[in-house]
Amino acid sequence: MPAPRKYPDELRERAVREVRTTGRPIAHVAKDLGIHKEALRGWVRQAEADT
């Protein structure tokens, strides 16, 4: 069984949207939202691959 997600889907979507719409660096957005920058980097990459 996979491990439960550490971050809720709503937070993931908000963080990715903020990076993509504002152009702010991933590290800055991650720090502001209290998430790990590498987690956010992966979410952004996945979102780019999905579009």
Domain membership flag for residue 3? no
Domain membership flag for residue 31? yes
Rounded to whole angstroms, the Cα distance separating 32 from 35 reads 8
At 17, list the tokens: 């949207």
pLDDT, one tens digit per residue, over 4-17 is 788 999 999 999 99
Q: Give me the helices (H) in the chain, please.
A: 9-22, 26-33, 37-50
Range of the domain at 22: 9-50
Domain membership flag for residue 18? yes
Q: Structurally, how many domains does the chain consist of?
A: 1
* pLDDT score, position 27: 98
Domain membership flag for residue 38? yes
* pLDDT score, position 17: 98
Determine if the pTM surpasses 0.75. yes
pLDDT, one tens digit per residue, over 21-49 is 999 999 999 999 999 999 999 999 999 99
Rounded to whole angstroms, the Cα distance separating 27 from 24 reads 8
pLDDT confidence bin for 3, thresholds 50/70/90: confident
Domain membership flag for residue 41? yes
The set of residues, in sequence order, having a beta carbon less than 8 Å from that of 20 and lying 6+ positions away, is 44, 47
Domain membership flag for residue 4? no
At 21, list the tokens: 């719409």
Domain membership flag for residue 2? no
